[in-house]
A and B are shown apart, each in its own frame.
Chain A
Amino acid sequence: MTTQNTPAPDRVADRKRRNAARIAGEVERELQSLRGREDRLAGYDYFLDLLAGGIHPGAVERRTGMPALNLLCIQAPLELIHAAGFLPFKIFSGSHAADALNAGGLPALTCPLLRSVQGLLQFEDSLARRPWVLPTTCDWIVKLPEMLRSTCPDAKMPDHWLELPHLKETDAGREHWRDEVFRLKKFLENASGRRIGRKDLARSIATYSRAWEALSRLEARRQAGAIPFVWFLALANTFFLDAPERWTASVDALIPTLPDNAGRKEGRIFFAGSPVYFPNFKLPRLIEEAGIAVTGDDLCSSGRIFPGGVSADAASEHELVAALAQRYHQGCLCPVFADNDRRVHNILAVAGNFSGVLFHVLKGCHPYDLESHSLENALKRQGLKFIRLETDYTAEDSRNLLTRLEAFRQTLGEA
């Protein structure tokens, strides 16, 4: 069975080369489109260069000299990974070319994001050579290694699982997660061969706090309409492509060069739901084309790319690790949690500042799909405009989406 599915080594190498070229072409097309934009500022160039340098851990390692560690989702504390001497690298999961690599062996409605990751993990050697930490978030993530193994027996497997308790308000859930984070610390110490001390932790927490400060200032400017959604996404997506200090400095340098107030006040919406990853900026582009401005979002690939702001006045090693565990679990607004009403309340509280809410569902992304219905009802009760768009990484539905977005734009005008 296994031998039957395994192609000859030279054919594998050939396929990898072709697929890498396909992904590189996709990245280049998206980059060309970003570079060609009229609203491009000199301050964006650093971020474009990061994307152009390759969206794989090999490029990051060359750039920073630090070993990279593969991640998916947002629950593994970045500070802890950084304190161990690794550079956290969140696997880019927006490539349609990588998605298309998965011809068979998957359920009909597999989340395109997961298909894309699966494609990359099979064909990107750069990912396969680095350790991989995986939190048990949604079913797709949990089943990813199993699906991967069935289609590609020698594919990269996670090196460490983080079991994420889906109850975050209970003591049992919180304690279990804290123990999981302490186990992650042990794993990282073994993998790096160095002990994570309290000074390392305090330094890394401060590093990410400064990055979060920069992101928060950027967020404030974005809410004022100074940064188009596509740019904000591109900037947030590059967070894992360089040392956080350099990314922070580049954001700090960009902020004063942003226009004071770009665009109209009306027709500004909040974007929630499934994440949007480079190079798949199809939906943000269509939103722009329809004349709608997104000035706030709740995406784990954008506004919530890392939680930041871990209160760390306590300075013992144990307390710092426990603080990180709490911040990344209790304060996590991923929809996979069972006791998740805080998330819905938070979105409702924020959405009041916008004309409407656009809810993005990747086809097959169950947690967001399920949530979209309860959120729709709650938002409409508040009298807010709501549109739910379900799509994937293909371009076929673009016209349809654009028509719906234009219609949505009309309703915003009336408001």
Chain B
Amino acid sequence: MVITVRRLRTTAQYVSFIVLMYGGRFGVNLGSAVPCFACPFVRGCGGQCYLLGVQGVLGFGMNLESLTGAPLFSALGWVAVFIILTALLGKIWCGWVCPFGLVQDWFSLLRRKLGVRERMASEKTLRLLSPAKYILLGYIAVLPPLVTVGLLPSSFYLPFCNICPGKALLPLFTLDGEYVAVLYSTFWTALPAVTAITLVGMFFKDRFFCVFCPMLALIHLLKPVTAIRLLKDNDSCVGCGNCTRACPMGISGVSRERERFDVQFDSCLDCARCAESCPSDGALRLNWHRRTLFSSSRLYASRRFRKP
């Protein structure tokens, strides 16, 4: 069997899914600063989504006594771990690791099998929605401190988790009905609505939730320190648009770009599907700190599309 980027990515996604969703049951714990939706509400998870940590740090007022000594250092330590993990892998966390990403990919697969047309994927719509993830990140940044200073009730301590469809969907994979029932009983009223929209959304749009994901926004803000880059040789690009059509986020900028070398746009997931489907030798490259992990090639792309 030939090793392809697609096979590597799919394997990575499944391995990550097992480790992050069930790792705790085998004693695996990747800590509290995982830069993807490793949901802490999944019983027996193998690591915890750092958005929980961020909310905890910003909502420190809930337990002011913990602001000194060991807890403070521990909180700062997790900030450091998060930055290091993000710096090392960038948005590989999104495209190759995130368990919620894999769940969304299953929905896309189902849509394709049924031959249903993707919606909400036009350039205009996506451009309009592109600030949404930053707005959600702002929501995470603003609400917990308001709890700290007493302007909001303590139920706003984890404002993002309370509206996160990951919290509603990922614990289902524990196959523990009793636990899920208890968890569901504590939901905000907004969560079922958000989850319903997400369920419909991810059927009709590839990686629907990623369009709004504050983790994606947070990782993108750390781009200056991340090692992963998507680079383009503009002279070799014919402009065919294969990259845009292969892109789960529908990024058209990679194809349209004529000047810039760096084409890692803010909604990019580093999944490398663009480079895989690019028919021009060396036009798109995925780099890790100046080392080329994958470079597009006509021969590679030609093997990519031979099955209906």
Contact = CB atoms under 8 A, between A and B. Distances in A.
Contacts of A377: none
B291 interface: no
A319 interface: yes
A310 interface: yes
B246 A309 contact: no
B260 interface: no
Given A205-B305, A316-B118, A311 B277 contact: yes
B112 interface: yes
Given A203-B308, A308-B279, A319-B118, A219 B298 contact: yes
Contact of B305 (A206, A330, A333): A206
Contact of A331 (B118, B236, B241, B308): B241
Contact of B117 (A205, A220, A318): A318
B195 interface: no
B303 interface: yes
B238 A342 contact: yes
A311 B115 contact: no
Contact of B242 (A168, A206, A217, A311): A311
Most buried by B among A198, A315, A323: A315
Contact of A168 (B233, B239, B277, B302): B239
Contacts of B304: 309, 311
A338 to B, nearest CB: 14
A323 B245 contact: yes
A213 B303 contact: yes
Give the most central of B118, B243, B245: most A CB within 10 Å: B245
A326 B306 CA distance: 19
Contacts of A212: 302
Contacts, number: 109
A299 to B, nearest CB: 15
Nearest to B124: A171
A312 B115 contact: no
B308 A216 contact: no
Given A202-B308, A213-B303, A318-B117, A310 B235 contact: no
Nearest to A315: B112
Contacts of B307: 206
- Sorting the interface of chain A by its residue count into under 10, 10 to 19, 20 to 34 or 35 or more gives 35 or more
Contacts of B256: 169
B236 A310 contact: no
A91 to B, nearest CB: 25
Interface string B274-308: 00010110000000000000000011011111111
Contact of A326 (B234, B245, B298): B245
B241 A327 contact: yes
Q: Max chain B CB contacts within 10 Å: which of A210, A219, A314, A333?
A: A314
A317 interface: yes
B305 A317 contact: no
Contacts of A327: 240-242
Given A316-B116, A330-B240, A348-B235, A213 B245 contact: no
A349 B279 contact: no
A177 B279 CA distance: 21
A135 to B, nearest CB: 17
A346 B242 contact: no
Interface of B: 112-113, 115-118, 233-243, 245-246, 255-256, 273, 277, 279-280, 298-299, 301-308
Interface of A: 168-169, 198-199, 202-203, 205-206, 209-210, 212-213, 216-217, 219-220, 307-319, 323, 326-327, 330-331, 333, 342, 345-346, 348-350
17 contacts: A169-B239, A210-B306, A216-B299, A216-B302, A217-B299, A220-B299, A309-B298, A313-B277, A315-B112, A315-B115, A316-B116, A323-B245, A330-B238, A330-B255, A342-B237, A342-B239, A349-B235
| Cβ-closest 7 pairs across A and B | A331-B240, A316-B117, A213-B302, A202-B308, A349-B235, A206-B308, A209-B305
Given A210-B306, A219-B298, 5 more contacts: A313-B112, A316-B117, A317-B117, A331-B279, A346-B236
